[in-house]
Chains A and B, each alone.
Chain A
Amino acid sequence: MKRANLALLIVLACLAALPLVGGAYALRLGTMACMYAILALSWNVVGGLAGYPSFATAAFFGFGAYATGVLLNAGLPLTVSILAALIGSFVLAGLLGAVLLRLRGHYFAIASLSLVGVLRELVNNATDLTGGGMGLNIPLASGSSIMADALFFFYGMWGLLLATALMVIAVSASKLGFGLVCIRQNETAANMIGLNATLYKSIAFGLSACFVAAAGGLYAAWVHYIDPSDVFDILYSVKPIVMTLMGGLGSPLGAACGAFLYLVLEEVVWRNYIQIHSGVLGVLIVALLLLLPHGLVSLRFRNFWRKAKHV
């Protein structure tokens, strides 16, 4: 195994020890950190490896949240609901991917972005099932103490993150990952050597969606209430991109670290500048894009710059 991937697993192992040192607040942050890392690692499969600028993360996050919420309301247990969301979104994204990933560059970006809008409007309109704009209450299953709940969701999210990381590591060492990198470099040539690019891209899109949906599902159960404008927020699409850019494209370790760093920044901003937090976030994004390419992760990033010109 590559050293960086080993380091990623070690970081995750350290994260698992968080409950030993922190209280409820730390656990809440830890849960968010795991969730963000899941989004960033997942995005990296289609955005980093295959080089397709996907803005669809929010679509699958919301899909997972609602699928899980609806199933929980129908009386199914949490694990079954989340598993269903995971498999459902893999299939959905795989099918959509076969169609949408024929587009490139801006057109793909726009199509993936509008996927978020389509799903949000569908959920908004399916009032009987989802509660529409009124939102959906998720029944509280455990009824145990606050601390036990916090622990439960932390380890739940951590487990999903571990699964995502293992998936990503497996992909990058596999024929699939090798093929995706071929596609990013030269899709025409990739087809020409017998690589079924459509299939590979579909699988990549499916893999990049399924753990995001599972995370969305667990998030829904965690916060007990979701509404379309919350879980289909475009920010869920943009944040993982910013995190991956922060941490260095293409590297799972970088994506995870980017996610943690981003969470810290967000938390600091949120606590100190609640009124202008999204503006400060905007400043951070602009500063990152304009200044960091030659700074912190410049080496990896500059490589990407050259590669991704063809995106």
Chain B
Amino acid sequence: MSEILRLDRVSRRFSGLQALREVTLGINKGEVLGLIGPNGAGKTTLVNTVCGVTPANSGTITFDGQDITRIKTFQAARLGLSRTFQIVQPFAEFSALDNVAAAALFSQPGESLKSAREEARAHLAFVGLEAQASQSAATLTLAMRKRLELAKALAMKPKLLFLDEVNAGLNSAEVERATKLIHQLAADGITIVMIEHLMKVVLNVCTRIVVLHNGQLIADGEPRDVIKNPAVVDAYLGQQYAQRNAANG
């Protein structure tokens, strides 16, 4: 398997707070990687650092054989790095269709507004929002806006897709629906890194898990192994979860 993304001793500081400490991590093509850890562990910072929102203070990041450590956000997007936001970021005045069209238009060279809108319809249909295409993004429900984020990310034809808590705030039926979508994407061969708190989803979807704690990677491996790792249990999952899991498994 070939690597699509490599972080080599990447660190990021925020005035006094060390959000990432020498993170070294490789992600393989076609993988669905679960990035888990307690709140404030640096998961979203990791995504922001790769996407150029908060550039690394030290270390190097390579994407598809290209050094992207100092890349600007919009360049990262054009290279095929795309992401959804933990807190959804739609263009509130635009219709759902134009939201997705904007993503297609600006990430793909040579796209016209007309062709972008046509493509956008297909992506909206994929996430089940075709009926809301002309509705303004501000009027959508949270679950719909989360799916809109996903459609926007897909319109960018990602090689690597970061899903930042796409399930947070959703009810179980909605989670199930989102999980199905992620399975489909993985089947289509998109490499996915998902930040997720719902362990059920992580175990269901991910082929590998890495655990971040206080800005450091503390575990990396097969899902079944990682959740039994004592350090992970201590830092994140908690004893109760481990016992329940042992009883079930």
Contact = CB atoms under 8 A, between A and B. Distances in A.
Main secondary structure of the interface of A (DSSP, over half): helix
Contacts of B73: 191-192
Interface stretch (A7-15, A117-125, A174-182, A216-224): A174-182
The residue among B75, B103, B108 with the most chain A CB atoms within 10 A of its own CB is: B103
Interface residues of B, number: 26
A178 B74 contact: no
A187 to B, nearest CB: 10
A303 B138 CA distance: 13
Interface stretch (A160-168, A193-201, A263-271, A287-295): A193-201
Contact of A192 (B83, B108, B112): B83
Given A182-B91, A185-B91, A193 B113 contact: no
How many chain A residues sit at the interface, stated as a range, is 10 to 19
Contacts, number: 70
A106 interface: no
A175 B94 CA distance: 15
Contacts of B107: 193-194
Nearest to B83: A192
Contacts of B106: 175, 179, 182, 190, 193-195
Contacts of A196: 72, 74
A203 to B, nearest CB: 14
B78 interface: yes
26 contacts: A178-B113, A179-B102, A181-B91, A181-B93, A182-B91, A182-B94, A182-B106, A185-B91, A185-B94, A186-B90, A188-B53, A188-B89, A189-B85, A190-B91, A192-B74, A192-B77, A192-B85, A192-B89, A193-B74, A193-B102, A193-B106, A194-B74, A194-B75, A194-B106, A195-B106, A196-B72
Interface of A: 175, 178-179, 181-182, 185-186, 188-197, 303, 307
